[in-house]
Amino acid sequence: NKTPSHSRGEYNVYSTFQSHEPEFDYLKSLEIEEKINKIRWLPQKNAAQFLLSTNDKTIKLWKISERDKRPEGYNLKEEDGRYRDPTTVTTLRVPVFRPMDLMVEASPRRIFANAHTYHINSISINSDYETYLSADDLRINLWHLEITDRSFNIVDIKPANMEELTEVITAAEFHPNSCNTFVYSSSKGTIRLCDMRASALCDRHSKLFEEPEDPSNRSFFSEIISSISDVKFSHSGRYMMTRDYLSVKIWDLNMENRPVETYQVHEYLRSKLCSLYENDCIFDKFECCWNGSDRQVYIVMTGSYNNFFRMFDRNTKRDITLEASRENNKPRTVLKPRKVCASGKRKKDEISVDSLDFNKKILHTAWHPKENIIAVATTNNLYIFQDKMN
């Protein structure tokens, strides 16, 4: 199953645009940051690309289109756009399209505002390609892509008395095939699956996924590190993957009482939780992703610290740690696997836990939907890696 070889050239920026501007809520004297929390592509329907981007409060639908030709040869206009004196026109010609340098234009098509009191953490497009959900810490809203002045609240976990608040929503996603089904994860490590056919307000879950905790292992940190930072359905929709602070878990939708697989991302951090709490790193939100839709291979990928990222092969149970950094990798060379030494004697080429740079975190990774090409984001750089050619 050899795929045709793709170009091994360098990547250039395709388009850059400002999606959100900082805003001010004068009533509450709060600044609303322009920082983008999530971006989701819509399935492509025509030549243009559409994406949803969101900051803490407002979601926007952007159209990104290419222009690679322009009309030339108007009768009433000069090439620079000035109008000609009609009395000087003595012949008529038919304007034609001529190629021009590629221009990529981004234009906002819809703005979905004023529906969230708390900070939006997730957006997810439904498989019906008509609706999408947006989730903040306490509520989830359902939107229609064409309608900006109305939104339906489908989950509300805000308690009547805020003193009774025990958990918040951390991520939400629609099922890839069932347009009535979505899941949301919580800061307590649970995932709830909801069916929109059951009721208008899905406060009662259809399924609750939770791994039982060993009470004797409980510590001050237990709940914090169990908080789920990302949830992603598999392409088939049979499984879902969750990322908590130290691990990646694979759940079978048919089994609620425990995950079917658990992969340790950086277990050596368990004995560093005190300092990770002090420097706030324990609250870092790592994402996770599945490989593309290759039916025979199941790999999950997630980031870590020191610009490391990890991949776990579900079939072979093998895992690998790689590094995204310019100093340690020459372009076009195969990445060398890395190893962290938890304690004791450090072997050559291993890195000790204490020399990890916790400011170099990889929170976002993405896998090409069809090819073995991955994108890995460090703090200031984007790395694109591809499978080595045999």
Tell me the closest approach of the beta carbon of residue 183 to another protein, in angstroms.
21
Q: What tokens appear for 76 in the block?
A: 């009433």
Instruction: Assess contact for 323 and 307: CB atoms under 8 A.
Output: yes
Q: Is 358 in the site for another protein (CB under 8 A)?
A: no
Instruction: Pick the closer one to another protein by CB: 162 or 200.
Output: 162
Name residue 232's beta-bridge partners. Answer: 241
Q: What tokens appear for 316 in the block?
A: 């072979």
Instruction: Pick the closer one to another protein by CB: 33 or 256.
Output: 33
**Binding segment toward another protein, per CB under 8 A, in 2-10, 114-122, 308-316, 350-358:** 114-122
In the shown chain, the binding pattern of residues 220 to 259 toward another protein, with x for contact by CB under 8 A and - for none, equals: xxxxx-----------------------------------
Q: Is 187 in the site for another protein (CB under 8 A)?
A: yes
Whole-Å CA distances, 196 to 21, 31, 155, 174, 236:
34, 34, 10, 11, 20
* Total residues interacting with another protein, rule: CB under 8 A: 45
Token pair 């993957």 in the structure block, residue: 241
Instruction: Pick the closer one to another protein by CB: 94 or 162.
Output: 162
Instruction: Pick the closer one to another protein by CB: 137 or 287.
Output: 137
Instruction: Assess contact for 102 and 68: CB atoms under 8 A.
Output: yes
In the shown chain, the binding pattern of residues 140 to 159 toward another protein, with x for contact by CB under 8 A and - for none, equals: --------xx----------
- Which of residues 5, 7, 12, 29 is near another protein by CB under 8 A? 29
Angle at 141 (CA atoms; ends 155, 173), nearest 5 degrees: 80
Instruction: Pick the closer one to another protein by CB: 31 or 203.
Output: 31
Task: Report long-range pairs for 348-356 (Cβ below 8 Å, ≥24 apart).
Answer: 351/306, 353/268, 353/269, 353/271, 353/272, 356/305, 356/306
Token pair 């400002």 in the structure block, residue: 18
Q: Is 260 in the site for another protein (CB under 8 A)?
A: no
Instruction: Assess contact for 296 and 346: CB atoms under 8 A.
Output: no
Tell me the closest approach of the beta carbon of residue 340 to another protein, in angstroms.
15
Tell me the closest approach of the beta carbon of residue 26 to another protein, in angstroms.
6
Q: Is 108 in the site for another protein (CB under 8 A)?
A: yes
Instruction: Pick the closer one to another protein by CB: 116 or 175.
Output: 116
Q: Is 102 in the site for another protein (CB under 8 A)?
A: no
Instruction: Assess contact for 311 and 319: CB atoms under 8 A.
Output: yes
- Which of residues 42, 51, 106, 113 is near another protein by CB under 8 A? 113
Question: Helix, strand, or coil here: 154?
Answer: strand
Question: Helix, strand, or coil here: 349?
Answer: coil
- Which of residues 5, 217, 257, 380 is near another protein by CB under 8 A? 217
- Which of residues 47, 76, 162, 389 is near another protein by CB under 8 A? 162
Residues in contact with 3: Cβ distance below 8 Å, sequence separation at least 6, in sequence order: 371, 372
Q: Is 270 in the site for another protein (CB under 8 A)?
A: yes
Instruction: Assess contact for 238 and 181: CB atoms under 8 A.
Output: no
DSSP state of 284: -
Instruction: Pick the closer one to another protein by CB: 213 or 357.
Output: 213
Q: Is 111 in the site for another protein (CB under 8 A)?
A: yes
Strand pairing of 261-264 and 38-41?
unpaired
Binding positions for another protein, rule: CB under 8 A? 21, 23-26, 29-33, 108, 110-111, 113-114, 118-119, 137-138, 148-149, 162-168, 187-188, 216-217, 219-224, 270-274, 277-278
